[in-house]
A and B are shown apart, each in its own frame.
Chain A
Amino acid sequence: MIPHPQRLLHFFSQCRRRALSLLRRRRLHREMEEEMRFHLEMQIEQNLDAGMTTEEARYAARRQFGNQTWLKEASREMWSLNWIETLVQDVRYGARMLWKNPGFSGVAILTLALGVGANTAMFSAVDAALIRPLPYLDADRLVMIWDEMSHIGFPKHYSTPPEWLEWRRSNTVFTDIAATQPLKAILSGMGEPEEIPARKVTANVWTVLGVQPLLGRVFNEDEDAHGVRVAVLSHAMWRRRFGGSPDVIGRSISLNDSAYEVIGVMPQAFYFMPGRDIELWIPTSFSAEMLTQFSWHDVQCVARLKPGVTLQQTRESMAALSLRVSAPHVDVPRSAVVTPLREELTGKTRTSLIVLLGASASVLLISCVNLANLLMSRWAARRHETAVRAALGAGRKRLVAQFLTESLMLSGFGSIAGLALAIPLMRFLETLVPETMGAIRLTLDWRVLAFSAGVAIASGLAFGLAPALGWSRRALQEGLRDGGRGALGPSKPWFQHALIVLETALAVVLLTNGGLLLQSFEHLRRLDLGIRRDNLLTFETPLLRYKKFEQSVLFVNAVLEKVRAIPGVVSAGAISNLPLTEIAQTTRYALPGQTGSETRTQDALSRVVTRDYFVTVGARLREGRFFDGSDQRTNSPAAIVNESFADRNFPGRSALGERFKFGWLEEKAYSYTIVGVLKEIRERGVAEDLKPVIYRLHEQADQTGNRPSGVIIRASVNPSSLAPAVQQAIWSLDKNQPVTRIRTLEEIVDRQLSGPSQSSALLSAFALLALLLAALGLYGVLSASVTQRANEIGVRMALGATSNKILFSFGMRGLKLTLFGLVLGLGLAIITTRLMTPLLYGFEPNYLPIAAASSLILLTTAMAACFIPARRASSVDPLVVLRNE
């Protein structure tokens, strides 16, 4: 309904008048007084004319005039914007009240600060990880495409260059598809050689993502097709290595000993695949041969959906297309899986962040409940004053408004304090997010601040309204009547008790879930990794400069010899991928007599090692032997497999002496003989599944396999102290050889455990906080109840009840509330643990000890909380109390 324009104008001029009147209050005030004076004088004159004496005239006029104060008030109310004046009044009154009770105010503000601060920090993490827009155009239309290879245990697998090409050519659902491959990039010629995180990308990735460079330009299809050596830098790299100077464009840098021209720099907010730490992008420049390799799985595809196409349509279309494309080239035609890009970048942390957000919300809820109870008790103590104000004309609405103002002020201060608390918490949370997110920055941007403000206001209203609404008229009357002696609770104690039960239940839920997480984390920490972790130093020295097989073998052996000569080194070995660090790197194998189609599910992790490797890491054998001097270069080399491989392919018998080949090399392929079966080493990571692994000696791995560029050293001293000596040793052999990622194995393990460890620590912290707050709440309510029923206690004692009986009676009441809360909480916990299972690292939770432990902790804390007020009850002196009657 469009309002009549005339009326609209009228309304606006009314508003303006009101606003103006507010501004010119003082002048209007004076004018009003003058007007009243005039009226009075006129009345006096009229009286004089009517024949009264001066005295009588004045008196009559005054009397007729009535109560001037009330008149002025009423008139004034007409003038000003009423609510602002009353608001200011309420605020000043509220501030005075808060100031006069520093203890209460302090506790309340602190409780709120904790609640609001924790929630703000958690929300900023959720926002940064899950909500904040990705730095791409229309990021919700971006997806990733994977090969569906669940037949070898990888439901989502990297795809291949020819698939990218075909998909790009033949799809009907995308505007374009881009591909990216990993790249080991060693930057040299500028001081020490450094390995930088880098990716190869197809030239259309920039348009698929919809991004523009900050400086210079990005490479185009032409350059990609012709293998032109150009590079685009990240903002961080530009600042760090080139000082942020604009003349970086056109500079030549040496990557992997080839000259590349820097043509562009990306903006600061940009990041691409998979983490935020990628610093450089070069064109993929697929060779013609590469584009026929249907088994070269290291490509990740990113695509943009066509307008109007849904994800479901895309999934169906790509599944069919992929099968068609792969069928002529592979034994097992494979389908494709399409996932939203955002999920890929943030999926791992989603559950834990949401659980933590839920936990912090529960803590806030409990604080609000406590504050509500506290306020109820305090206002009960001020009941007399409130009743008088009510009698003097303050309506119930005004009283509620007054209380709400007080509670909103409390929550206001609490949330400001909370914001201060949130900042260090956010710094801490930044370390929680896993490696794929890189250096994520949590900031107090407008969304987070709005959330914080919303939370503060909501909690202020929650704990302000609840008691205010519980204020019945009867309570007001009672307040007037007995003059405010003693502190009577509000007339509905069951409400407070229900709140206590609720917050106890919440605390129990948090305790049990925290316990679950701790339990799983403990399992994870104690897990047998298959190697002896202590005093192991690791580093990587990429062998890109030793491309020929014999060169690389000689170099590796020379490096190891040099390293062994360092004092403090017990033994040293090398492997193609350090344990715990590489999820894949697999290869197809074939057992004798198998045809192509039979091998389709046979993929194993492939690792190439030096002779001393197993001894260095402290691996154990189930049967057979390690590699030794008898294994030289030959065309029937040896292999060592792990238990998973042996159990899978040779169940129930010894695997020693069995043979296999790497399937895709056909006749030329060496036939490997198994000489040892290794007890499981967790090659893929602390929390990852075990898969079959094949280990080969590097001197025999001339046909296929990566070079052993990861060196591992067992030291007799603190391993980190050997780092400089190690670097020197290598540079004495080749001064341009990069030595990167020097870290101890313990550091690798800790890094993988850091996420889980911090999650469980955080959740446990929330749980303990919740428990503390719930206990405080219980204490507060019982305490108030004791004060309230002091008279009754006195009577009971006078009638013969012993102090022990009183103690018991109050203790029981507290216990009852706790038990209700415990039962309710355990019930709720059963539901919520369902939500927690993805966080438990694949371990089966053992509920009973956790439930028992939580119950015990809760009951002891509750007992402690009840004890003090119960003692107070039992020590009531009946004479004192009854005398006041």
Chain B
Amino acid sequence: MFDLNEEVFGKAIVDNKASILRICRAYAIPPLETQDLFQDVVCQIWKSLANFKGKSELSTWIYRVTLNVCYRAHHTAKPKQQRTIQLDSILYEPIAPESTHEDIRYTMLRECISVLEDIDRSIIMLQLEGLPYKTIAEITGLTANNVAVRVKRIKPKLLECILTKQAKENDDEQ
């Protein structure tokens, strides 16, 4: 029998699974792994759901938690053996990419995102998630104007990086 918090928690995880996974995957540059980050996010949501005051949408709050967890993992990468909690009830199954081309495109995107400053990285991921500037501002603690200015600056940088990598990939193939 669930109490209200457990029900809210369960629904939160199921409804936001894909978003959490996308962000974790973007941060999962070795030694970090997607499944470990996902697990950490789930644990964090579990621990701090009682702290959610309802001032924003639950999904907005979950984005913030996910980014904070990934940010901390990125800056203090712990070897797997030192992890204190392993959750056996979360099962991971990597799926073969539809094409090598798709896989390469994703790797390029992730590499280009990874060279951005921390705050810019968060902003562009949230932009890719399709969130409005106002929501991105809520999550990052910036103003909506500041987010808009940064997005205008980050997008061309990201595109330039990807096109450069694609051009190099095409040259290498020839």
Say whether A and B bind each other: no
